[in-house]
Every structure is written in C-alpha cells, then in structure tokens.
Amino acid sequence: MKRSTDSISIIGLGYVGLCTAATFASRGIRTVGIDIDEARVEQIRKGKAPVYEPQLDRMLKSAVKRKLLGATNDISGATGTDTTFLTVGTPSQQSGSIDLSYIKNASEDLGKVLREKRGYHLVVVKSTVVPGTTNGTVKSSLEQSSGKNVGPKLGLCANPEFLKEGTAINDALHPDKIVIGSNDKKSASQLSKLYRRFYGRKLPPIIVTNPESAELVKYASNAFLATKVSFINTVANIAQQMPGVDVGTIAEAIGLDPRIGSLFLKAGPGYGGSCFHKDLQALINYSQNNAYDPMLFRATEDANEQQANRVVEMAEKLLGSLSNKTVAVLGLAFKKDTDDIREAASLRVINQLKKMGARVVAYDPMAIPNAKKVFSEQIDYAENPHSALKGADCAIIMTEWDQFRKIKAKDFQGYMKTPNLVDARRIYDPEEYRELNYAAIGHGARREKILSNHVPS
C-alpha cells in the first residue's frame, strides 16, 4: 500500500533546501529537488554539492546513486509527490524588511501546477518568513494560481528549520525539536507522519501550533542567540578594562546556572553569517510596522556593529596609529569550517582598517575566493598564515580556525616586523603569548603590560 508520506519535493536548492533534501533521501524518502538555476540542478544530478557543507557531498552522491534524490528545474515535478517544502531565500530589502518575492513566485508557480492534481497535496513553508506570511502571501498566491482553497484538498503548514552552517547535516538528523504551524489537523498529521517515518524511535518533541506562532519561533530563536552573543561581548568589553579579569571565567561561571546555559557565551568580534543580522532586521522592521519598537533587538544589533570597532581600537592601542601599518588579518569566514563571509565581522574590521589607512594582508583557509569578490584588489591575500604575518606590524585573529591555534608565539615573533597580536577570537592562552604584545577581547591585561606596549603616535 502506498503511504501518504512516501515522496516529497523541495523548491529552492540553496543551503537549507539541499541539506533537507539530502537528509530526507538518506532515510529512504523519495525526494525531488526543484530549482530554477539549471547549472545548479545539473551539478546536483551528478551528486555534487554546489555549496560547502561537511557530509553534504557524500550524502548527495549516495542519494543520487540510490535514485532517492532527483533534481529538476521543472516545477511540475512537485505534483508527483505528496508534500512540497518551500526553501527559497528570503533576503533583506534595502530597509532591512523581508523580501518575499521569491516565496511569492514559488507559491504562484507551485499553485499553477497543482491546479490539475486530483489528490491531496501539502505545502510546507520552511523558509524563514515573518509572522503572517504563510497564511498571507503564500496562501493567497497558492489559492489564486491553483484555483483551490487551502483545506481538505490543499494543505498548508509553516515548519521552520534551525540548521547551523558547518553542522547542518547533523542538526537535520538530530534536531532538538520540530515545530509545525498548521490551520487544520489533516495537514499537521501528514507532516507529523512524515517526521515520524524520518526519525523513527528517535523522534524529537513536536510542537504543533498555528502558522504565525511557528514563524515567530524561528525569529525568537535567532534573536535570543544573537542577543546572547551581544550580551557576552558587552561583558567582555567590561572585563577587558579590569586588569586580571577574563571573560572566559565569567562565562564559565554564569553558564553553570541552568537558567543561563553554557552555550553561545563565547566572546568575540561580533556575530556574522547570513541569518542573525538579516532575521533581526526583518523582525525589528516587522514589529515596528506593527507599532512596537523592540529596543532590545536594536541594542543587540548596535552592540554587534560596535564590536568590530572595538577590535580595531585594540590594534590601535598596540600600534599607536594604523596609518601605513601592515595588518595581517587571519580569518575571513564568519565562523570556522565554512567559506561563507556574509555579514562576517572580518568585513567590518577590514573596512575600518582601510579607512584608517592600514594595509591589509588577509589569509583564510577557505574564504579567500569569496573575499576577492568583495575586496578585489583593495587588500592583499596570502597563501598561508606565515606569509600573511611576514613583515606585518600587527596580526588580528578574526576566525577561530583550528590551524591558527597551532601558530606559536615564536612564529609571530619570527615572521612579524613587530609582534603585536589582537586575539579577537580568544584562541590563545595569554600566558603562553606573554612575550608578544598580546591583547584579547575580554581579557583584562595587567596594567603594566598595557602601558609598556603603548607606542604613542
């Protein structure tokens, strides 16, 4: 007997769509991936991932080989499946508010091909969308183009994702929860069944609610995490002014309180990535349009923007003036194990360094091709950390790559013109690097050290 959750389709084969497709297929669920980008579709058909994500390539290859995953640019491929996930992008507009054009177009195109479908079809919005989008833009586009009403023949749910870049496959295979926002029992039950089949005995808690609440869960989650980072960065900036105080100890101690929790308390140069800033801006904008100004989230964003200036100030404190100085920036990616530089703190720091007249030499194990698209000839690129350090007046650690942890104090001393080091990711033990002019975010250096390192301009 054919089960109603036997096959799915996924519209939008970006990062989320691909990871979702690969993991569903890995559990034996026949999956059709749909994207308008022909080159991307062609690449996926060959089992090659167009984005870098650990494990993704291997999973795609195996799913394609087992004929569990197909890719097409023909949206009518969705009609042969029972459930369609929408995973298209929801970028920011100039104002920071969400751009729903991709989700609207995808819903319209899907509605058109569903017009002739006889049986029940479930549409699931996985893209991050502001509250009201599923029951607003998506529902009206689908209904208009399909000529059907959402209800007994056409199901509609919101079902946000919580995947992190770099661990997305693992996150998809072991989520801490599943959130389903639906208007009726039938759609919620079809989606729950699909997840039951996916996770079997390892089914995580499923929260079933209305679409608006499900949509807000996603924003609340990212807003909380971003606020946690800005919070610890604020504490770090206070700690840094206090000789002998280190934010690591403060984070460790407060993290033991289960009401606070130990994760996401790593102080640094500020959060980056394609989600936190975009989603906070969309949420702030959405809320302001509904007559409430979420001050806390504006402060989270302001603190994050300022954190990059703190990093540059630390370099200035060590060097005096940055004008005509050579600064080695180690790390461009917004976090380790990715080539993604979107909204990375390194971009804000490099722009500021350039503004102050510094010459920047950057190194990153994966992100240089992406950085070249942003900075082209404005900065220099090194082939390894040592050549970035050669002759530099100051080095700044911007990403916590494992390979940077292996750089010893003597390497900085040997390669650099003057061994000034700003550890914006706190990857080194200050004691081991005390021979250098070392400053770390959130580390209150002994006062005599700060004074002896200061070179007046």
Contacts to ligand UGA by CB under 6 A: 128, 161-165, 222, 225, 229, 264-266, 268, 271-273, 275-276, 334-335
Distance between CA 33 and CA 178 in Å, rounded?
Answer: 22
Q: Measured from the CB of residue 369, what is the shortest distance to ligand UGA in angstroms?
A: 19
Cα 418 from chain centroid?
A: 35
Length of the chain: 457
Q: Which of 62, 71, 74, 61 is nearest to 31 (CA)?
A: 71
List the structure tokens of 3: 């089960």
Query: 64 or 232: whose CB is closer to ligand UGA?
Result: 232
Whether 169 contacts 23, CB under 8 Å: yes
List the structure tokens of 68: 């569990």
Whether 304 contacts 232, CB under 8 Å: no
Q: Measured from the CB of residue 168, what is the shortest distance to ligand UGA in angstroms?
A: 8
Q: Which of 158, 267, 168 is nearest to 213 (CA)?
A: 158
Q: How far is CA 182 from CA 209, 229, 306, 350, 444, in A?
A: 6, 32, 40, 45, 51
Q: What is the 3-state secondary structure of 201-224?
A: HHCCCEEEECHHHHHHHHHHHHHH
Whether 338 contacts 305, CB under 8 Å: no
Name the one residue in this structure whose structure tokens are 């400053």. 439
DSSP-assigned beta bridge partners for residue 359? 326
Q: Measured from the CB of residue 167, what is the shortest distance to ligand UGA in angstroms?
A: 8
Distance between CA 79 and CA 88 in Å, rounded?
Answer: 18
Q: Measured from the CB of residue 273, what is the shortest distance to ligand UGA in angstroms?
A: 3
Q: Measured from the CB of residue 274, what is the shortest distance to ligand UGA in angstroms?
A: 6
Q: Measured from the CB of residue 25, what is the shortest distance to ligand UGA in angstroms?
A: 21
Where in 199-325 does DSSP place strands (E)?
A: 206-209
Q: Measured from the CB of residue 50, what is the shortest distance to ligand UGA in angstroms?
A: 17
Concatenating the DSSP letter of every residue in 111-172 gives HHHHTT--S-EEEEE-S---TTTIIIIIHHHHHHHHS--BTTTEEEEE------TTSHHHHH
Q: How far is CA 334 from CA 148, 305, 343, 375, in A?
A: 44, 14, 7, 16
Query: 165 or 215: whose CB is closer to ligand UGA?
Result: 165
Q: Measured from the CB of residue 147, what is the shortest distance to ligand UGA in angstroms?
A: 34
One-letter amino acid at 438 equals Y
Beta strand 420-423 with 121-125: parallel, antiparallel or unpaired? unpaired
Catalytic residue list: 275
